[in-house]
Amino acid sequence: MAPPKVPETARRGYIVPVGGAEKKDEEAFILRRFVEMCGGPEGRIAVIPTASELEDTGTRYEGLFLELGAGQAQSLDYRRRTDTDDPERLKWLRNATGIFLTGGNQLRITTILGGTRVARAIRSANARGVSVGGTSAGAAVLSEHMVAFGESGATPVAGRVTLAPGLGLTNRVVIDQHFRQRDRIGRLLAALALNPFAVGVGLDEDTAAFIDADDVLRVRGSGAVTVIDANGLEHSSMGSAEGGQVICMTGLRLHILPRGGTFDLRNRIAKPPPGTLD
């Protein structure tokens, strides 16, 4: 899906991909910030645990968001496509002031929610100003082009990454998570090699990119965000590479941004953290 149209009087809500394994104790800076921006004590956060096959993922985040100060939190447990017609859950979703997608398998989200009213409700909520976050699988699915799966390793290899259409809240980035922990720069590069127009965003665990309505990305959390900008790509062998061959790419720009660092996705400008962090 193309990014949803933002009504003229509204500003798009934040898009908040989290790299997985975000802290959930007193150092839960990422989730706490998310709760704040969703209205804190006035906030109503919808949790979508569809990516997970575990029974308690949704209720766990429900409790967590309440502990962190959200006024209300509700797990909307969509487990099959027919669930998406349920009017009560749709009503909750449409009245939410924040939406959070848990981890698991991103293909569960797209296959269960893709093309349904739930996907449309998430998109239109974000366009109206509601912040939408997700961790791990829930992060990958936020963008138009999503890394569905792929192999680990530092070098990009042809045919070793699979893209799928995501929820499409933004088309400026391709997101990968557990980035340093699972050695994924190769697969993110391979994804960009397929079409270098997007910006690659690799999120370490317990690290998030808060992307505002002007498409400026700000890093929060304990790790780093790796930004790969293929805009200046001079040469790529992807057009002639056979499966299993290393992809040759020249002219890429790379930024490693710790918390407080920013990247302007429209103008492709990276800035280090200012003097004071967080």
Residues noted as catalytic: 136, 178, 205
Task: Name the one residue in this structure whose structure tokens are 């690659």.
Answer: 200
| Contacting a second copy within 181-240 (CB under 8 A) | 193-198, 230-231, 233-236, 238-240
Cα separation, 47 vs 247, in Å, equals 39
What separation in angstroms does the CA of 233 have from each of 49, 189, 253, 276? 38, 12, 8, 34
CB of 222 to a second copy, least distance (A): 30
Closest residue by Cα to residue 230 from 274, 278, 195: 195
Is 246 near a second copy (CB under 8 A)?
no
The residue among 47 and 198 lying less far from a second copy, judged by its C-beta, is 198
- 63, 69, 71, 159: which one binds a second copy (CB under 8 A): 159
Three-class SS of residue 46? strand
The minimum distance between CB 144 and a second copy, in angstroms, equals 7
Residues 58-87, mask of contacts with a second copy (x by CB under 8 A): ----------------------xxx-----
CB of 255 to a second copy, least distance (A): 17
Number of other residues whose CB lies within 10 A of the CB of residue 158: 18
If binding is defined by CB under 8 A, does position 166 make contact with a second copy?
A: yes
Compute the distance between CA of residue 132 and CA of residue 79 in angstroms, rounded to an integer: 20
For a second copy, which residue of 107, 132, 203, 209 counts as binding (CB under 8 A)?
Answer: 107
Cβ neighbours around 207 below 10 Å, total: 28
Q: Is 144 among the residues that bind a second copy (CB under 8 A)?
A: yes
CA dihedral 101, 105, 109, 111 (to 10 degrees): 180
Count the neighbouring beta carbons within 10 Å of the beta carbon of residue 246.
Answer: 14
**What is the rounded CA–CA span in Å between residue 167 and residue 108?**
12
Beta-bridged to residue 146, according to DSSP, are 164
Least Cβ distance, residue 160 to a second copy (angstroms): 10
* By CB under 8 A, residue 114 contacts a second copy: yes
Residue 66 or 90 with smaller CB distance to a second copy: 90
* Residue with Cβ nearer a second copy (52 or 262): 52
Q: Which of residues 13-52 bind a second copy (CB under 8 A)?
A: none
Contact status: 112 vs a second copy (CB under 8 A): yes
Element (H, E) at 187: helix 185-194
Per CB under 8 A, residues contacting a second copy are 1-3, 53, 80-82, 105, 107-112, 114-115, 119, 144-145, 148-149, 159, 162-166, 168, 171, 193-198, 230-231, 233-236, 238-240
